[in-house]
Amino acid sequence: MDFINKMKKYLLISFFSLLAFCLNSCGAYNFTGTAPIAAKTFQVNYFQNNADLVQPGIERTFTQQLQELIQNQTNLNLTNTGGELVYEGEITDYRITPMQATADQRAAQNRLTIVINVRFTNKLKEEDNFEKSFSFFRDYPGSDQLTGAQLTETVNFIFDRITQDIFNASLAKW
């Protein structure tokens, strides 16, 4: 009987030691992949649309998507002024390019590309500051006209990728 009690005690101690080790190891980890952030606030200034081909409203959509992504993936508070982390910039390119042609010289496939120049300022850690262009594209059939819901879906798809890339470059350090 004494052997069984010693074994139970050993297993109990081993289990709690392992549990404590696992919980301690995961202390600085989070599911977004960001390192611990010393800042408490962030600010996303309005991204002007300076592209040659202007699509109305995309600057507002992009600004809001970047704000929402950071709010959803961090515990930072959004502020309009005085943010410790500041995102600003402009949409520098919005273009539709034919990618494949048919036998009668029509576009079989088009590509919408959006390029956004971003200036990121970390007031608490200046070595993290950068200015960089981010871009992404989406192809669509040449017979389609990007209007209405299809345009909104395509732009949102591109912005989802660009905002994630900006998040990774500024906070996740990928």
What length is written for the chain? Answer: 174
Residue with tokens 């590309």: 113
Query: Which residues are within 8 A (CB) of 93 and not within 5 positions of it... i.e. 6 or more apart?
Result: 51, 52, 113, 114, 115, 135
pLDDT at 155: 95
How many Å apart are CA 6 and CA 99, to the nearest integer? 73
Q: In 3-state terms, what secondary structure has residue 138?
A: strand
pLDDT at 28: 40
The per-residue pLDDT string of the chain (174 residues; one tens digit each, 9 = 90 and over) reads: 566 666 566 555 655 555 455 544 444 444 445 556 889 999 999 999 999 988 899 999 999 999 999 999 999 999 999 999 999 999 999 999 888 766 666 667 889 999 999 999 999 999 999 999 999 999 988 777 777 788 889 999 999 999 999 999 999 875
pLDDT at 98: 86
pLDDT at 54: 85
pLDDT at 118: 98
Amino acid making up residue 93: D
Q: Residue 118's CB: how many other CB atoms inside 10 A?
A: 21
